[in-house]
Each structure stands twice: as C-alpha cells, then as structure tokens.
C-alpha cells in the first residue's frame, strides 16, 4: 500500500481563526498528523490537503496530506494506524468494516471512527463533445472508460453500475489528472468520475477543450438506486461551464475518519474547528458547503470517535452511546 506524502504548507492569512485550543492539555496529542486523501486532480486531494493546512495552522500541530488510492486504501491505512486520519465514502467504508475490502479480504477494519460529514460524491460521466456521446446509452460497445485510481470509490462502483446499465467497456485506471489528459488526447472514450464537485480535473478540461458532462435518465437513475448504496443527486448547472441545465446523477456520502485510538481531546478540537468554521472550509473547496453538522445523520456505517461525538452532543446533534466507539 504505497502512498506519496505531500506535507501541508500553512496559510496563516487564509485559514487562521481564533481558537482556545492552545490552552488545552496536549499531553496525549500527537506531534504531527497525516490525512489520507486520493490522487491529484480529484476533490479528495484538494479538500484533504486544504483541511490539513487549516487544522495544522489553527491547532499548532504539524500536519499534511498524503496521496493514496482513495477511500478503500484509506480505510486500511487508518485501521492499521499507518495513518491517523483519512477520507472515505460510505460504500467502501461498509465493505471494509464487514471484511469485504478488496485490499484485505477477511480483515474487518473496525478500528476506524467517524469525525464529521464532508459532502456527497456524485457519479457522472464526461466525454469530449467531438465524440458525439451525449448520454450513457451513446457510449459505444467496447469503449475505453477511465474509472479513476484502482480501488477508488469510482473504480469500486462505477464499473458495476455501467454493467448494470448494459454498457460494454474496456477498463482503464489512473489518476484523475492523467485520465483527463488521456481523454483530451483521444486515448480513452469516456471518464466516469466519482468525486465531490466541482472536480478539479473536469474544470481543467473545460478550459482546454469542449466536453459533455453526462447525467442519467430517470430510468437509469432508478435502476442504479435500486441496486447500489446511493441516492439521487442533482448537479447544479452553475457547477460547470459545460452544463446549461441541472444534471441528474446518483451520489454517495463522504466522511472524515480517524483511527479510534487517537486522543479524544485532539479529535474534539479538530471537529470543533471544522464544524464551527464552514466559511473557511468552503474557501478550501466548494464541496465543503455540505460539511455542516446537520449532515451527521448521513453516517450509518462507522462508529463515532468519542471526541467527535462529544462535540456533536454538546451542540444539539445527539449521538447515542451505542454508536460511539
């Protein structure tokens, strides 16, 4: 499970907020921390590295982001303690908790705790306008589809979704940035993205060429919702220059997670900082508009870390003792 470290650089003028954390007893706090994200060009990396900067600057603990394979690998790395923090999606989290991770079949990754809700991951398709592909039904038989990094949420679920919708394809893996480049160069036909919006790689593609951002028909969305742990999602037209109307797709929730053995007071302060400063989070990535405490109910998979649960309970978002690790 090789990863690539990218240490955070503090942006004091951008992210610093008033916090009383310095007065806390820090005897059980780590001297540094690392957040498992995903590939460059995707939302996890942008969100995770920015969040790490934000926490490091305001809590005075050295922190950074690490490039990984995404939610599936992050679950394994956080469970084993190789990383203390990570980002995950509820589908891969459930499979990993139940011992069905493709990385470690049979290992029940149950030492992972929830911290706070992040955002929904929409599943959408992007093709070059010159391809003539304007719907999933238009994808030609045997098309080469990029599904993101191996083991990512997209790679785990989107191929199954395509098969369920009757699409025959050749599978291609890679970072979102790399796949975007391959699409632009005509080396692949379609990229099936699953990431928080706006996806940096899609926004970059729009600057360089004409693309079609493809949603699902009512029937396609209903079929997928009936067969996968997802819900309906509407991508607002304002998200991308290439959209002239809202796009119906499906989505899956993401949560920030932590190894359950990490200091309760440290996790409490991180949760407090994040949940009480949504404007700062949105300045890191627009997807953070949904990183608000009201969405804590979207976690029906992971146990809550005691530090995170303490903040939610103190602020009117009740979490039962049975759901706390």
Examine the pLDDT at 7 and tell me if it is beyond 60.
no
Q: Which residues pair with 145 in a beta bridge?
A: 171, 190
Burial of 263 (0-12, 13-18, 19+ CB in 10 A): buried
How much is the pLDDT for 17? 65
Which residue blocks in 125-217 are alpha helix, DSSP H? 153-164, 176-184, 200-208
In this prediction, residues 231-247 reach a mean pLDDT of 95
Among 184, 173, 202, residue whose Cα is nearest residue 287: 202
How much is the pLDDT for 5? 55
Q: Answer with the residue of higher pLDDT: 16 or 22.
A: 16
With bands split at pLDDT 50, 70 and 90, how would you rate the model's confidence at 2?
Answer: very low
In this prediction, residues 10-36 reach a mean pLDDT of 71
Residue 217: half-sphere exposure toward Cβ, Cα within 13 Å: 9
How much is the pLDDT for 11? 40
In this prediction, residues 237-253 reach a mean pLDDT of 96
How far is residue 278's CA from residue 212's CA, in Å, rounded to a whole number? 31
The end-to-end CA distance of the chain, in Å, is 26
In this prediction, residues 297-309 reach a mean pLDDT of 96
Nearest 5°: the CA angle 191, 192, 195 is 115
- Any idea what DSSP says for residue 222? H
How far is residue 250's CA from residue 230's CA, in Å, rounded to a whole number? 6
Pull the structure tokens for residue 78. Answer: 């956080």
With bands split at pLDDT 50, 70 and 90, how would you rate the model's confidence at 152?
Answer: confident
**Positive or negative: CA dihedral 76, 39, 174, 139:** positive
How much is the pLDDT for 32? 97
Question: Which range is least confidently modeled, 11-20, 42-51, 119-128, 216-225?
Answer: 11-20
Pull the structure tokens for residue 27. Answer: 């005897």
The CA dihedral of 311, 315, 316, 318, to the nearest 10 degrees, is 0
User: What domains can you pick out in the chain, each with its CATH number?
Assistant: 33-119+254-323 (3.40.190.10), 121-252 (3.40.190.10)
- pLDDT tens digits for range 45-87: 999 999 999 999 999 999 999 999 999 999 999 999 999 999 9
With bands split at pLDDT 50, 70 and 90, how would you rate the model's confidence at 25?
Answer: confident
How much is the pLDDT for 4? 60
- pTM, 2 dp: 0.84
User: Who contacts 234 (Cβ-Cβ below 8 Å, separation ≥6)?
Assistant: 246, 247, 248, 249
Phi, then psi, of 220 in degrees rounded to 5: -65, -45
Pull the structure tokens for residue 303. Answer: 């146990």
**pLDDT-above-70 percentage for the chain:** 93
- Any idea what DSSP says for residue 292? S
Examine the pLDDT at 280 and tell me if it is beyond 50.
yes
Q: Answer with the residue of higher pLDDT: 6 or 285.
A: 285
Q: How many CB atoms lie within 10 A of CB 67?
A: 22
How much is the pLDDT for 16? 59
How much is the pLDDT for 324? 98
How far is residue 61's CA from residue 293's CA, in Å, rounded to a whole number? 24
With bands split at pLDDT 50, 70 and 90, how would you rate the model's confidence at 9?
Answer: very low
Average pLDDT of the chain, as a whole number: 92
Give yes or no for a cis peptide into 198 (omega within 30° of 0).
yes
Q: Answer with the residue of higher pLDDT: 140 or 23.
A: 140
With bands split at pLDDT 50, 70 and 90, how would you rate the model's confidence at 15?
Answer: low
How much is the pLDDT for 218? 96
How much is the pLDDT for 12? 40
């Amino acid at each position: 499970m090789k990863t690539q470290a990218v240490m955070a650089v503090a942006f004091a003028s951008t992210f610093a907020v008033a916090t009383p954390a310095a007065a806390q007893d820090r005897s059980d706090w780590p001297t540094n921390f690392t957040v498992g994200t995903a590939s460059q060009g995707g939302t996890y990396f942008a969100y995770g590295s920015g969040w790490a900067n934000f926490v490091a600057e305001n809590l005075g603990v050295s922190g950074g982001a690490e490039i990984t394979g995404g939610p599936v690998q992050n679950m394994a790395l956080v469970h084993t303690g190789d990383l203390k923090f990570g980002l995950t999606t509820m589908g891969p989290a459930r499979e990993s908790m139940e011992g069905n991770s493709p990385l470690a079949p049979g290992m029940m990754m149950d030492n992972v705790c929830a911290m706070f809700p992040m955002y929904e991951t929409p599943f959408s398709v992007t093709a070059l306008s010159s391809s003539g592909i304007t719907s999933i039904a238009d994808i030609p038989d045997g098309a080469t589809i990029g599904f993101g990094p191996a083991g990512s949420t997209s790679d785990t679920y989107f191929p199954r979704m395509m098969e369920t919708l009757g699409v025959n394809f050749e599978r291609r893996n890679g970072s979102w940035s790399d796949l975007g480049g391959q699409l632009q160069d005509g080396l692949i036909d379609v990229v099936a993205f699953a990431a928080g919006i706006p996806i940096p790689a899609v926004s970059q593609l729009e600057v360089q060429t004409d693309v079609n951002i493809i949603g699902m028909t009512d029937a396609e969305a209903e079929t997928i919702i009936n067969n996968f742990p997802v819900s309906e999602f509407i991508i607002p037209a304002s998200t991308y220059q290439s959209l002239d109307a809202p796009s119906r797709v499906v989505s899956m929730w993401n949560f920030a997670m932590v190894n359950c053995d990490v200091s309760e007071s440290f996790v409490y302060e991180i949760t407090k900082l994040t949940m009480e400063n949504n404007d700062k989070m949105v300045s890191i990535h627009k997807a953070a508009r949904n990183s608000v405490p009201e969405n804590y109910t979207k976690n029906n998979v992971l146990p809550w870390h005691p530090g995170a649960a303490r903040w939610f309970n103190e602020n009117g978002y009740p979490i039962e003792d049975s759901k706390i690790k």
